[in-house]
Structure 1
Amino acid sequence: MRARRVVIAGRVQGIGYRDWMVREAARLGVQGWVRNRRDGTVEALVAGEEAAVQALLSACRRGPLLARVSEITEEFADPPEEPGFLRLPSG
């Protein structure tokens, strides 16, 4: 299982980005979590088969209809401890 921590910048809060990402992750069979950060970015941990993780990261570069993604940074991470894909409280 491959895991990555990503931070997504741009117009990504207040437009349903987290809910969209939960749906996309479920569709692709990816595990992890997503949350808003105080600095206006969205942070996520995504884990699963490499092809599924890459498909989700590619989708995140576009985001939902109202999103305007300006930058995504990613780094390798440990897989999540809990199954599924969760929407966490803002942090």
Structure 2
Amino acid sequence: MIRRRVVVSGDVQGVYFRDTCRVTAAEAGVTGWVRNRPDGTVEAVFEGPPEAVDQMVAWAREGSPLSIVDGVEIVEEEPEGLAVFEIRPTPWRD
């Protein structure tokens, strides 16, 4: 089990990125979450078998059919043992 946090920049909000990510993660057997961030990026956490998580990181580089991905930052983290993949609300602006 591994965990990766990704922050995706580009035209990634309002283009079904989060919902497509949720469906794709469920199909891949990956748990975690995805949310829009106030700065216009999308943040996601993927947990699962290495091959499945790598598949989701690769998907994040392409995004949903309507998105335009300019960049992806990837951070390795310790797995938390998440049980599902969910869409989380956007955090409040400071």
TM over 0.5: yes
- Determine if contact 2:7/2:41 at 8 Å carries over to the other structure: yes
Q: TM-score, normalised by structure 2?
A: 0.92
Partner of 2:47: 47
Aligned alpha-carbon RMSD (Å): 1.0
Matches within 5 A, 1:1-91: 1-91=1-91
Q: Which amino acid aligns with 1:66?
A: L
- Determine if contact 1:9/1:71 at 8 Å carries over to the other structure: yes
Q: Which amino acid aligns with 1:84?
A: V
**Alignment size in residue pairs:** 91
Cα shift at 1:81: 4.7
Cα shift at 1:72: 0.2
Give ranges in structure 1 of 5+ residues lacking alignment. Answer: none
- Determine if contact 2:47/2:81 at 8 Å carries over to the other structure: no
Partner Cα separation in structure 2 for residue 79 and residue 89 of structure 1: 21
What is the DSSP-based 3-state SS (H/G/I as helix, E as strand, rest coil) of the residue aligned with 2:4?
Answer: strand
Partner Cα separation in structure 2 for residue 57 and residue 22 of structure 1: 13
Cα shift at 1:59: 1.1
Q: TM-score, normalised by structure 1?
A: 0.95
Q: Deviations over 1:26-81 (max 9, x none)?
A: 00000100000000000011010000001111111111111000000011113245
Give ranges in structure 2 of 5+ residues lacking alignment. Answer: none
